[in-house]
Structure 1
Amino acid sequence: MNEPDPTKVDDPRGGFTLSGVNKTYGTGEAAVHALIDVDLGIRPGELVVVLGASGSGKTTLLNVIGGIEGADNGSVIVAGQQISGRPPSALGEFRRDHIGFVFQFFNLIPTLTARENVEVIVELTGRGDRRQIPELLAAVGLADRADHFPAQLSGGQQQRVSIARALETDPDLLLADEPTGALDVATGQGVLALLQQTSRAGRGVVMVTHNEVVAGIADRVIRMRDGRVVSDEVVANPVAATTIQW
């Protein structure tokens, strides 16, 4: 029986396929080749961890998948849509409708409560349902902190607000850039558990990190070096996030 090709995605929701993708910053001798001939794809329900040293192309990869930046060439199909070659305005609409982002720095609005920080994404995108916000905050363990401002929340609680905000619009794909980098182990475990739960609910989840230990929770581990994907490994038995120590 043939093994499935991880670069081919049959079910569009929550998956993506990159084929021959390149991204360069600058020109001439100052050019930085951030992505070089990248072929990669994931299926809905997969949690993929991308590992690599600083400057290996991890964040650029995430930005191209999420439509924050356009590829110079190659094909980028996300959630069943070809997004390569789209103008910035169209990429903005695509991000709004299909992608959830979780960053290392939480980007919460300090003058809004936890609940309001989630509500604001509904106002900005026109998607989501305010009525589900209490349930969503409860799911991330913040039912009793909904009316607290960011300054009244710990780093881990703020990160969980950002995850709730990312999930409020029911994105096809969740992208996380070093989401545990500023957190202690116990809090980081909670955030990783939420990412695992999100993938198990059928969404594609891609997490960029430099932390080798975190890769233990993944279904697949992608390694990058100098703008290239150098390995793509299936994890036979992902571990529970609550067992991760670093």
Structure 2
Amino acid sequence: MNEKAKADHTGNDRARGAIILRGVSKTYGSGDAAVRALTDVDLSVRPGELVAVLGASGSGKTTLLNVIGGIEAADSGSVIVAGQDISGRKPAALGEFRRDHVGFVFQFFNLIPTLTARENVEVIVELTGRGDRGRVPELLAAVGLDDRADHFPAQLSGGQQQRVSIARALATDPDLLLADEPTGALDVATGQGVLALLQRASRAGRGVVMVTHNEVAAAIADRVIRMRDGRVTAEDVNANPAAAESIRW
């Protein structure tokens, strides 16, 4: 791990995995073509908490995740993530923020087809200068792929590719893990394994936000946020989150 990464992950810095959004709005387009994706959204996530965001297509779930992760900037409101106010930052600064603090898991795995599973994880360490390349075998073992490390994406099942993407997301030891429909393309058994990994990431002290349309998958979360038409419409605390291995859909 390089010196910058060491400095960012010492002491109580994992507490920077918190998320605080206040009055966040986002509009695409203008005039008659304007679409309000988020309207006055308030949201808080504590370090070590797994929050599921539920809603129909077009409810604003993915836009919310993109704003939290610095992929897009909010038009208004306050966005404090991982101890930093990223409201109004320019694209280059948001890119640095993503590199230094956020791990992303997408429904479509975005693996590089010409690299093996191990190389797909190693490359993020090399590109960001964060994390420890020596931990890559440990990460692949943690997601149950130590025996598939030298296989290319085309030689892996969809579930195995998703697990590679999770290992890649964790390779830089991010404060936050953001997952957009991580089980959407998976069967139940494979989806259970992926959800278990997200639970494990939150128990390690990361803030984890999972966007899903799957009510059953949301049962693993500590809290469930419901969205409709760009607004948070309900928030439910789950006193007894289900173990990922126990759920079916």
Give the conservation status (yes or no) of the 8 Å contact 1:57–1:224: yes
CA RMSD of aligned residues (A): 0.8
Residue of structure 1 in register with 2:64 after alignment: 61
The total of aligned residue pairs comes to: 236
Counterpart mapping for 1:26-41 below 5 A: 26-41=29-44
Query: How far apart are the structure 2 equivalents of 1:152 and 1:93?
Result: 33
Q: How far did 1:211 drift?
A: 0.7
Unaligned runs of 5+ in 2: 1-13
Partner residue, 1:103? 106
Structure 1 residue 13, shift from structure 2 partner: 1.5
Q: Could you say what secondary structure the match of 2:135 adopts?
A: helix
Which among 90, 100, 121 is matched to residue 124 of structure 2? 121
Residue 17 of structure 2 aligns with which residue?
14
1:227 corresponds in structure 2 to 230
SS of match in other structure, 1:107: coil
Distance 1:45 1:231 in 2: 21
Partner of 2:184: 181
Distance (Å, rounded) in 2 between the aligned partners of 1:212 and 1:71:
27
Distance (Å, rounded) in 2 between the aligned partners of 1:225 and 1:117? 36
The secondary structure found in structure 2 opposite 1:13 is helix
Deviation, 1:12, is 4.3
Uncovered stretches (5+) of structure 1, i.e. residues with no partner: 1-10
**Letter of the 2:122 counterpart:** E
Q: Per the alignment, in what secondary structure is the counterpart of residue 104 of structure 2?
A: strand
Q: Is the 8 A contact 1:67 1:94 kept in 2?
A: yes
**AA partner of residue 54 (structure 1):** S
The CA deviation at 1:27 is: 1.1
* Paired-residue identity, %: 84
Q: 2:133: which partner in 1? A: 130
1:85 is matched with which residue: 83, 88, 94? Answer: 88
Letter in 1 for 2:139: L
C-alpha separation between the residues in 2 aligned to 1:89 and 1:142?
34
Aligned to 2:246: 243
Partner of 2:216: 213
